[in-house]
Amino acid sequence: MHVGTMSGTFKRPSLEEALDAALAHDIRHLQFNLSTLNVSGTLQEKLNAARTTVRAQIEKRGMTVAALAGQANMVDPDPVKRQEGIERIKLFISACHDVGTSVLATCTGSRHPENMWRTHPDNDSAETWAVLRDTLEQLLPHAEAHNVMLAFEPEICQVASSAAKSKRLIDEMGSPNLKVVLDAANLFGEGELPRMSEVLDEAFQLLGDHVAIAHAKDLDRDGDAGHLPAGSGKLDYERYVSLLCALPFDVSVILHGLTEAQLDDSTEMLRRLAASHATH
């Protein structure tokens, strides 16, 4: 497995300085955030800037863009905003290969009217599921045409709130271009920490064949998604890393939810565990 982080972890005035800062921490795999460019303008203008600079600077340094970050609320209760989000994701998809990746890291969203990162009772409704499927029916042909993996993140506050629902979504959509960003810290609802091994094992059993990249952060308490640097909370990283290393490919594991000052400790922890579990 390859340890990486979000490009936005490195707050620098320019792309070149941010990438050099990543190398100074021995980080070569990045999930790329457009904010790293420090470019103003429309999304299209920012993506155009990314197209002309990112891949060349990444390749010059022997680095890898594991994924491009591009979120929108796929089930926004406002149909106009939802369609705007669909068009936004299409723009990200179209830019992926020019930036140097075949993976777009995104999410399924929430029916919460103000915050797509907060849960809502309607997330579990049949109507919302139908809306999500309709959104993906618009996005997946675009992803397939551009040879891009549309990778959503299973997360308790989202419509794809569990490994089981995520696997159901993948099966129902039937597209080889629908993948997941697996973040173990986002799989635990209230009262589920005592079932940690079972939850982790089930996630990899159901979704292991569909992982595009993984994320790494940590749990600060029961019943809440992760808010701590990896290795500093309640998540069983020994088991998580063993499952990541058992995947049939070298997965990029992207650290986030931490500062640059916290990066080295989490990186060392992941690499130490990976070395003890490496199978390929």
CB 90 within 8 A of CB 141: no
Q: Largest alpha-carbon pair distance within the chain?
A: 50
pLDDT of residue 221: 77
- Helix (H/G/I), strand (E/B), else coil: 137: helix
pLDDT 10s digits, 44-75: 999 999 999 999 999 999 999 999 999 999 99
Cα–Cα separations (whole angstroms), residue 207 to 80, 193, 215, 243, 275 = 32, 20, 14, 11, 23
- Helix (H/G/I), strand (E/B), else coil: 142: helix
Q: What's the length of the chain?
A: 280
**Domains of the chain with CATH codes:** 65-255+266-277 (3.20.20.150)
Q: CA angle at residue 116 from 114 to 117, to 5 degrees?
A: 115
pLDDT 10s digits, 101-142: 999 999 999 999 989 888 899 999 999 999 999 999 999 999
Residue 206 — very low, low, confident or very high, per pLDDT cuts 50/70/90? very high
pLDDT, the chain, mean: 95
Token output for 273: 């565990």
**Alpha-carbon gap, residue 96 to 20, rounded angstroms:** 22
Q: State phi, psi for 140 to the nearest 5 degrees.
A: -65, -40
**Alpha-carbon gap, residue 105 to 251, rounded angstroms:** 14
**Alpha-carbon gap, residue 184 to 201, rounded angstroms:** 10
Matching residue, tokens 């905003």:
81
pLDDT at 226 over 80: no
Matching residue, tokens 């990541």:
244
pLDDT at 39 over 60: yes
Token output for 113: 């009217």
pLDDT of residue 238: 96
**pLDDT average, residue stretch 18-42:** 96
pLDDT 10s digits, 179-190: 999 999 999 988
Per-residue b or e along 82-94, where b marks 16 or more CB atoms closer than 10 Å to that residue's CB: beebbebbbbbbb
Token output for 77: 């209760």
**Alpha-carbon gap, residue 147 to 247, rounded angstroms:** 22
Token output for 104: 């777009």
Which of 190, 54, 134, 248 lies closest to 199, judged by CA? 190
DSSP 134: H
pTM value is 0.95
pLDDT at 280 over 60: no
Q: Look at 232 and 117; give whichever has higher pLDDT.
A: 232
Token output for 187: 């799989």
